[in-house]
Amino acid sequence: MTIRLYDLVAANGRSLSPFVWRIKYALAHKGLSFEAAPVGFTDIPKLCGGKYKTVPIIEDGATTVCDSWAIADYLDKTYRDAPTLFTSPQERAMAHFFDGWFGLEIMNRIFQINVADIHNHARPEDQPYFRQSREARLGGKTLEQFAEGRDARLDELRYALRPMRAALLSAPFLGGDTANYADYIALGGFLWAGAVCTIPLLKADDKLNDWLKRGFDLYDGIGNVERYPLTA
């Protein structure tokens, strides 16, 4: 049976969620086929009887699971014969640590750079909700006011990425010789940016570009989707 994955999409059909992206990689890692069901921000509360507020959500037969970590654990527990996402509790713990770091230091910065872009690319019927909910988090500034200083934030973002550059000096992936869930988390962040971000995040000589290419090429080019340039 094919798993259904609810995917948050922009008006142009591109995926607007870094968390959905990591689950697309996780499903591909496990060799599980899935159908993506595109939804907008304001559709999410109507899914699965109104049980959930965020995507990713999967439906696997009669089972529904929301939250990327819950889904990753469900996939490993349910599909034991398929390649595991976490080969040990220790690997899972390290991926969890990486997720915390990447969320705080990188995704937050990307959000601060592309928040107005996300709004402008959202489906028209989702834009008022997105503006209202995000402006409530931005300390009284409009999305446009918030986006004003974003060029200066690029340098901070590039600087904050140096632990990833350091790790990738000695291995092709954050997971070592092969990609693991930490790579999927980070690739998802960049794919989210590529969907909407109208300024390139990385410099042309950034070594992360090689890793991005390797990561986008995984699983028959899962990440080679239409996007804005990530590199200046």
Ligand X SMILES: N[C@@H](CCC(=O)N[C@@H](CS)C(=O)NCC(=O)O)C(=O)O
Interface positions with ligand X (CB under 6 A): 8, 17-19, 41, 44, 54-56, 67-69, 133
Provide the residue type at 177 as one letter: D
Provide the residue type at 178 as one letter: T
Smaller CB distance to ligand X: residue 19 or 25? 19
Residue given tokens 């790790």 in the structure block: 167
Q: Name the β-bridge partners of 59.
A: 4, 64
Q: Shortest Cβ distance from residue 41 to ligand X (Å)?
A: 5
Q: How many CA atoms lie within 13 A of 120 on its CB side?
A: 11
Smaller CB distance to ligand X: residue 44 or 157? 44
Smaller CB distance to ligand X: residue 67 or 206? 67
Task: Give the separation between CA 68 and CA 125, rounded to whole angstroms.
Answer: 25
In the sheet with 34-39, reading across from the earlier edge strand, the strands are 34-39, 3-8, 57-60, 63-66
Q: Shortest Cβ distance from residue 16 to ligand X (Å)?
A: 7
Tokens of 91: 């690997």
Q: Shortest Cβ distance from residue 52 to ligand X (Å)?
A: 8
Smaller CB distance to ligand X: residue 55 or 222? 55
Q: Shortest Cβ distance from residue 193 to ligand X (Å)?
A: 12
